[in-house]
Structure 1
Amino acid sequence: MAEAHQAVAFQFTVTPDGIDLQLCHEALRQIYLSGLHSWKKRFIRFKNGVMTGVYPGSPPGFMVVVVSYMSYNKYHKLDPSLGMFAKLTMALTAYFAPDIQKIVGGVLVGTGLWITIIFIMRNALKCLLSWHGWMYSRHGSVSLGTRLWMLLVKVFSGRKPMLYSFQNSLPRLPVPPVKDTCRRYLESARPLMDDEQFERMKGLAKDFEKNLGPRLQWYLKLKSWWASNYVSDWWEEYIYLRGRGPIMVNSNYYAMDFLYVFPTSIQAARAGNAIHAIMLYRRKLDRAQIKPIYLLANKVPLCSAQWERMFNTTRIPGLETDTIQHMNESKHIAVYHKGRFFKVWMFYDGRLLLPREIEQQMERILADKSEPMPGEEALAALTAGDRTPWAKARDAYFSRGKNKQSLDAIEKAAFFVTLDDTEQRFVEKNPIKSLDSFAKSLLHGKCYDRWFDKSFNLIVFKNGTMGLNAEHSWADAPIIGHLWEHVLSMDPFKLGYTEEGHCCGEPHPNLPGPQRLQWDIPAECQDVIQSSLTIARTLADDVDCHSFPFNDFGKGLIKKCRTSPDAFIQIALQLAHYRDKGKFCLTYEASMTRLFREGRTETVRSCTMETCTFVRSMIRDETVREERLKLLKEAAEKHQNMYRLAMTGKGIDRHLFCLYVVSKYLGEDSPFLKEVLSEPWRLSTSQTPLQQVELFDLVRHPEYVSSGGGFGPVADDGYGVSYIIVGENLINFHISSKHSSPETDSHRFGGNIRQAMLDILDLFQLDKKAIK
């Protein structure tokens, strides 16, 4: 094959006259270009590290400070360094001439002054970002104090920040007082307990607050002073990596393609543009050229730490706990098609492959008619089943020889691509069945055609539709969502396709083809693969997915009601759930804590006393509309306040979780914590934010909307609900549950959500046509 020939840099033969070297100049050229690319990347990383390390200072700022200091000292004959300059000059007398002494001393003192200015600016910014009063301002109005605060934040934020520039300026996540956490927990638990249950729980909480709680809190305080974030490392380890069940469905989540637009029906071409766009995003990430994410009119930065492991990352199974393996560099991707695995290099001639060249590589894979090796076709089912059997099989059968080399090619790839041999797409004549099938395919596929351990899988279907499946431990959904928005915006608008549907450009005449990975999988390992596949299929077949676009109205109309769109939807979910099951349940809404360094998520307990009172008023026919509106306003305000508390480090669940972890380390048993942590989340919800609104012109091109994404149910008898608010007039919902539960039905719940949204809007008696 061509790639085998190109891989040999030289050959030699022994003759009577000596050794005759036969150099392959093309191979040596590729080696040179590859090395050049690597050194460029190292230099860029070093430069970015320096720029981030001194931010909000900058090298030009260093020159200004040093020159200004030396000029001031020369012309005014004054020493603002309080004698330090003179002492340095005397110390340098034995080494330099008098003129050089002044220059070196001035540079050293100027450097110290520059570092001092950076230190002051960074800590001033950290103090400013620790204030969250701006979150409590009424929507549409900003107080004078908040305006002054915003001005100071802008002054101390520096110019032209890169992705990681603010990491050292972000405040640490505070540890809430045990008393406050217990009080807020009891408040959240009240609507779900009768009087007897509540009094019992109140007693447990009071005992914990007085006795064990303060001792556990002391350890958490100590950790919060020492570690960057007192929650995130334990959350990653105990919630994600120590789980021994399948990560497919239970942990991994998915992101969908455009809803109404199909840029091309050629599978290889769609893969070519998407892969190229992803690699361009990785290049921007390596160079820290991605802009930081902000809140409040681009003034308040969010933590960017989760971006670090987006690429070249794999979850490695272990006997008791998994680990996350991250490579600094990876120049290839791994591709799966019809039971075969391929390694595809992303660089040639010292540059990234162009879209048409990547399409060319995908065409070669699609045209390959070779059969899978024994055990190869369903190999990825090991990543879909239980973790411990996969860890044992990995150690026993994939730690040496060709199996290790092939597994390394997958685990060290930039990301994983599946060229799916099925067709998925939104069909207008059959929207429910088509979208449900699309969602299930992205969530679990055939259980053996996605490598669920990779940071993310790009899935390109036979008809050109695509989506993502992402592993959860390394980051949360908004991070992968940012990448996906970049891909969807680049694909049809910036990269485009020819009239025939191919990628723009020409194929490369000398491009080496993909490398087929080789395996030698013994019968014993094949049995483990089949066992994992059986477990995964049982889990996948039980998932009831329902995805639907709600286009009766969107956030534009909700804002006319002077209500938060998120609060409106969360209250509608409570009304829908009560109609669906006839009762309330413990509800999880994901909020983020990325206002703090290395922050991830916090829980908003959406089922509140105020919301329950409103829902009951909607059930009772005798309640008048004005009373329902009043109760709705109270419920929405309560929800908004809880969301603010969660975002500002005053949430309930992460604090209780960490207290529980400390109790286990100390060998202490807490009935209160044990009961709290064992309560099931029967309604788990999450909003997928649209972060880069400027990339999509939804006014002129409303059809270019993302469908968002979804996840599996958290409880066996509960629902998982994800929603994305797109533009002004569309909300996409993704619902999951389990067929095995007699209490749940995703389609029934979807109907209840739709009706609840309409019923709540009707309370305002708005004339939609007049508003439009």
Structure 2
Amino acid sequence: MMTSEMMHRLLHNRWRGNIKESIVKGWWSLNTERTDKDVVGDSGDQPRTPDEETKLPKLPVPLLERTMKLYLETLKPILNEKQHEHVRKLVTDFTNGPGVILQEILIERREEHDNWAYDWWLHDMYLCNQASLPVNSNPGMVFPPLPNLSAETQMAKFAARFVVEMMNFKRILNRRELPVEKATSREKGQPLCMAQYYRLMKSYREPGLVKDRLLDVESDLTLSRPHIIVACKSQFYVLRLTSGDDATPITEEQIAAKLLNIIIDAKKSVGSAGMYPVGILTSQKRDDWAHSRELLMKSASNRNNLALIERCLFFINFDLEIPGPEFNSVCKVGAKGYRLFNNRDETNMMHQMIHGGGSEYCSGNRWFDKTIQLVIGRDGSNGLCYEHSPSEGIAVIELMEKLIKSTKDLNEQSTDPIASTEKNEKTEKLTWSVNNELIKHIADASTVLDKLVKDLDFHVFRFTQYGKEFIKSCKISPDVYVQLSMQLAYHKLHGKLVATYESASTRRFRLGRVDCIRAATTEALEWAKAMNQSAVTETSILGTKKIFYTVTDNEKLQLFESAVKKQTDVMIDNILGMGIDVHLLGLRQAARENAMPCTIFEDDSFRIANHFALSTSQLLTSTDSFMGYGPVVSDGYGVSYNPQNNNLIFCVSSFKSSKFTNNNAFTAALEQSLMAMQKMLYMRRN
């Protein structure tokens, strides 16, 4: 079991921010042996920076004294007085001792690198983490379901539109014509790093026995003759997107015909000799998957298969078996906060996107290492599973929403046969050479994943009493408001606050990714205690009882305003490159590389500070879609939220095996907190 700090590093910093592309050419052969030039993120090998990115400022190194002061401040609401006093001494010793030398190392490193934190951050967050990708790392996204996908012809047409739109986007990337986004708050108009968009269809996370490698798999060959991989019935097919010697792009109708052929062939092949769900091996712990991959690599045909998979632009995953209701308590029609589609609720669909439903359903129909997997279910469910290390969610959501909007005209389309010369064309199936040892690995991987799938508790909850329009009318940032509602809910349920993580984009800087907004502040704690105070009952001399509260409504409002200001200040510090977590990571890594043991990083307080029992992300969409992920510590919650105009969508996760968490109770506490906050703000208006 990995440390809690590493578990938090895996998932928390995933939603906003950016990662830089590496433009490495020349990987021509199908041999999967690589040189360091093909690898993104190895120490000392920062991604090459395009000219437009060099115009962005470099990520700053905050002042040592400032960071250590803020670190001590963030620990106050989650430690007792004795623990906090102990940390105060550690901070003083570090600031006046090894911290001075380590700070100079970071300042020098900033001069030498486009982004001084990039390599360290990528390794710490992802590449050195051995946890399995489904649930623990890969987010899932649910798109608006479609009513007309029961016919395989319609599934193929729908997927073909996805492919065409993805290729349109890829051509824009190839020409480097993607418009540069601009900051919309705090120094409005500042250009943002766009590198993460350029990585979406040219990255692959290769498992390693010690650490993974993030590969740039684009070459001149893949640019001119691109292909995708199609998964159906746990089998994998190559779909070439060009034809002829001149590599002419094939049409949408031709793509649909090829996809339909694949579905038909996959159904016919079920039960055939040698048909094993090799894809489920990618769900293993990273070192276990690396070992399984080494076994696969002993076969020349398997090496060829792996090369084709790693170099593909993206996956299309046809799910013909849909997860059943055992993954969650399927809600009744009209149940509060939940919605049904074809007798499945949105929570059930999210399970499908995050992990595939286990070996019984579609987990073998995935390849979890690949950045983009577009999932299309035969019941109209559709969405995404994506590997996180190449990009934050902001780029992924932007692209996915373009796809969603492009398919609107297909909803009412008929299921007429596809007329194309490719209709009866032979498919290009990947056939695997699997020995008894690999068969055992597949069986073991299935058992482990099934256990993880059954342990995941997940709720998609829609709070419909109000949305961001009401919050904005109160002159409060919706993000700040929702963060405080979660602090109030956690305190209501558990009687305390815990280290809380919200990812904050640092895309204003060259190769910027994310830093951490620590939402569990002293101000939030004081406000939560006031809101959740117990009533005091006083009996008079005449025997009459009077119920009152020790904190008045006006005092609650004042405490709330202080909490809002603090949360806002922390958010601004982070997006302007003055957060503390990346700085602390740099100081710790510099100490390791220079053999300078530092008590402050070995103390239990540092573990507590990085044990994020509340892992949160704001994931905004303009369509009726949402993204979610699993918890990052065994006794914690993962909460993504999507403020819409008149409702708030929450994806809440935890583990059923935990004695400390309860999804139903947390969701109920969250609803109560949001209602209490509205009541409080109505009082302010009056």
Q: State TM-score, norm by structure 2.
A: 0.82
2:428 to 497, 515, 518: 515
SS of residue paired to 2:364: coil
**By how many angstroms is 1:341 displaced?**
1.3
SS of residue paired to 1:548: strand
> Which runs of no fewer than 5 residues in structure 1 stay unpaired?
1-41, 43-162, 694-704
1:178 to 57, 64, 70: 64
1:295-341 CA deviation, whole Å, 9 max, x = no partner? 13872111112223211321111111111222225311111111221
Amino acid at match of 1:658: G
Amino acid at match of 1:195: E
1:377 to 1:202, Cα distance in 2 relative to 1, 3 A: same
| Alpha-carbon distance in 2 for matches of 1:587, 1:362 | 44
Q: Which residue of 1 aligns with 2:263?
A: 366
| Alpha-carbon distance in 2 for matches of 1:636, 1:507 | 60
Amino acid at match of 2:260: E
| Alpha-carbon distance in 2 for matches of 1:171, 1:271 | 40
Moved over 6 A (4+): 424-427
- Are residues 1:334 and 2:229 paired? yes
> Which runs of no fewer than 5 residues in structure 2 stay unpaired?
1-24, 26-48, 325-329, 536-548
Q: Which residue of 1 aligns with 2:11?
A: none
| Alpha-carbon distance in 1 for matches of 2:264, 2:117 | 49
Q: CA RMSD in A?
A: 2.5
2:133 to 230, 247, 251: 247
1:648-673 CA deviation, whole Å, 9 max, x = no partner? 11111111111111111122221212
Q: Which residue of 2 aligns with 1:760?
A: 677
User: Identity over the aligned pairs, expressed in percent?
Assistant: 28
SS of residue paired to 1:187: helix
**By how many angstroms is 1:511 displaced?**
7.9
Structural mapping, 1:530-609, within 5 Å:
530-609=443-522
1:593 to 1:292, Cα distance in 2 relative to 1, 3 A: same
- Are residues 1:436 and 2:344 paired? no
1:223-248 CA deviation, whole Å, 9 max, x = no partner? 11101111121111122011122122
1:493-514 CA deviation, whole Å, 9 max, x = no partner? 5xx45631569x8534578443
Q: Which residue of 2 aligns with 1:459?
A: 375
**By how many angstroms is 1:348 displaced?**
2.9
1:424 to 1:741, Cα distance in 2 relative to 1, 3 A: closer
Structural mapping, 1:255-274, within 5 Å:
255-258=141-144, 262=147, 264-265=149-150, 266-274=154-162
Structural mapping, 1:608-757, within 5 Å:
608-620=521-533, 621=535, 622=549, 623-675=551-603, 677-679=606-608, 680-690=611-621, 705-726=623-644, 728-757=645-674
| Alpha-carbon distance in 1 for matches of 2:554, 2:303 | 68
| Alpha-carbon distance in 1 for matches of 2:569, 2:590 | 29
SS of residue paired to 1:341: strand
- Are residues 1:379 and 2:265 paired? no
| Alpha-carbon distance in 1 for matches of 2:575, 2:482 | 19
| Alpha-carbon distance in 1 for matches of 2:334, 2:303 | 48
Alignment check: 8 A CA contact 2:258 2:423 kept: no
| Alpha-carbon distance in 1 for matches of 2:138, 2:59 | 26
1:474 to 1:625, Cα distance in 2 relative to 1, 3 A: same
Alignment check: 8 A CA contact 1:737 1:745 kept: yes
| Alpha-carbon distance in 2 for matches of 1:533, 1:293 | 42
1:499 to 1:239, Cα distance in 2 relative to 1, 3 A: closer
SS of residue paired to 2:228: strand
2:86 to 197, 200, 223: 200
**By how many angstroms is 1:674 displaced?**
2.5
Q: Which residue of 2 aligns with 1:470?
A: 386
- Are residues 1:216 and 2:144 paired? no
1:412-467 CA deviation, whole Å, 9 max, x = no partner? 11112211113479995563661221111111112322100001211111123211
Alignment check: 8 A CA contact 2:261 2:425 kept: no
| Alpha-carbon distance in 2 for matches of 1:581, 1:373 | 53
1:500 to 411, 414, 424: 414
Alignment check: 8 A CA contact 1:346 1:352 kept: yes
Alignment check: 8 A CA contact 1:591 1:601 kept: yes
1:201 to 1:227, Cα distance in 2 relative to 1, 3 A: same
**By how many angstroms is 1:166 displaced?**
3.6
2:296 to 397, 403, 407: 397
SS of residue paired to 1:295: coil
**By how many angstroms is 1:376 displaced?**
4.3
| Alpha-carbon distance in 1 for matches of 2:368, 2:297 | 17
Q: Name the one with the larger helix percent.
A: 1
Q: Which residue of 1 aligns with 2:176?
A: 288
SS of residue paired to 1:301: coil
| Alpha-carbon distance in 2 for matches of 1:317, 1:686 | 26
Alignment check: 8 A CA contact 1:572 1:757 kept: yes
Amino acid at match of 1:412: R
1:542-571 CA deviation, whole Å, 9 max, x = no partner? 110111222211111101111111111000
Q: Which residue of 1 aligns with 2:13?
A: none
In the alignment of these two chains, the number of paired residues is 590
1:328 to 1:629, Cα distance in 2 relative to 1, 3 A: same
**By how many angstroms is 1:479 displaced?**
1.6
Alignment check: 8 A CA contact 1:167 1:597 kept: yes
SS of residue paired to 1:559: helix
Amino acid at match of 2:243: Y
| Alpha-carbon distance in 1 for matches of 2:683, 2:155 | 46
**By how many angstroms is 1:185 displaced?**
0.6
1:649 to 1:502, Cα distance in 2 relative to 1, 3 A: farther
Q: Which residue of 2 aligns with 1:353?
A: 250
| Alpha-carbon distance in 1 for matches of 2:144, 2:683 | 31
Amino acid at match of 1:342: Y
Mark the structure with the bigger radius of gyration: 1
SS of residue paired to 1:544: strand
**By how many angstroms is 1:375 displaced?**
6.1
1:123-182 CA deviation, whole Å, 9 max, x = no partner? xxxxxxxxxxxxxxxxxxxxxxxxxxxxxxxxxxxxxxxx96741210000001111111
Amino acid at match of 1:339: S
| Alpha-carbon distance in 1 for matches of 2:87, 2:684 | 47
Alignment check: 8 A CA contact 2:241 2:250 kept: yes
Alignment check: 8 A CA contact 1:318 1:387 kept: yes
- Are residues 1:317 and 2:230 paired? no
1:381 to 1:656, Cα distance in 2 relative to 1, 3 A: same
Amino acid at match of 1:738: F
